[in-house]
Amino acid sequence: MATRDLSDYDFNLVPDGKDMSFGIVVSEWNYEVTGAMLRGAVETLKKHGVAEEDIIVKHVPGSFELTLGGQFFAHYTEVDAIILLGCVIQGETRHFDFICQGVTKGATELNMKYNRPVIFGVLTTENQQQALDRAGGKHGNKGDEAAVTAIKMVALQDRFEADYTEDEEDED
């Protein structure tokens, strides 16, 4: 929502990230925007107890490549969640539509295939100013929001595993 500050949240409603690890894939395209989102995500993770060595950052050329970068994290690492950070700005052609659809579908598929949180931190804006407003500007930082979402989803998955693994052990 255009009036919502993406960085405004209740700190106390976010679980402790102390024992969590995160992979962040960031697009080099529109790096003025995505770099600011990356800084926001990393700072937010640290603020919630995630150790610097438990945050791995990899860069890809553009937003379309985010999902393959995410798949590499899922396949080659043991991170608890993957954050995809990108920015697609509307141009004069339909390229915007194809990139947005591909990245959205790819992120959803990664969530399902690897059964771990893959967070969609991709801005899809009409212009550069809207992107800057959401990357540390007047609407906060989508990177902050993506980091908070990642922590919450890892905690949710941990609760499910604890609740249902415990039940399975009781049956044996």
For residue 111, give the DSSP letter.
Answer: H
Q: What's the pTM value of the predicted model, to 2 decimals? A: 0.92
For 144, the token pair is: 């902050």
Question: Does residue 168 carry a pLDDT above 70?
Answer: no
Q: Of the ranges 12-21, 24-33, 139-148, 157-166, which one carries the lowest mean pLDDT score?
A: 157-166
For 95, the token pair is: 């390229």
15, 50 contact by CB (below 8 A): no
Determine the CATH number of domain 20-171.
3.40.50.960
| Catalytic residue annotation | 95
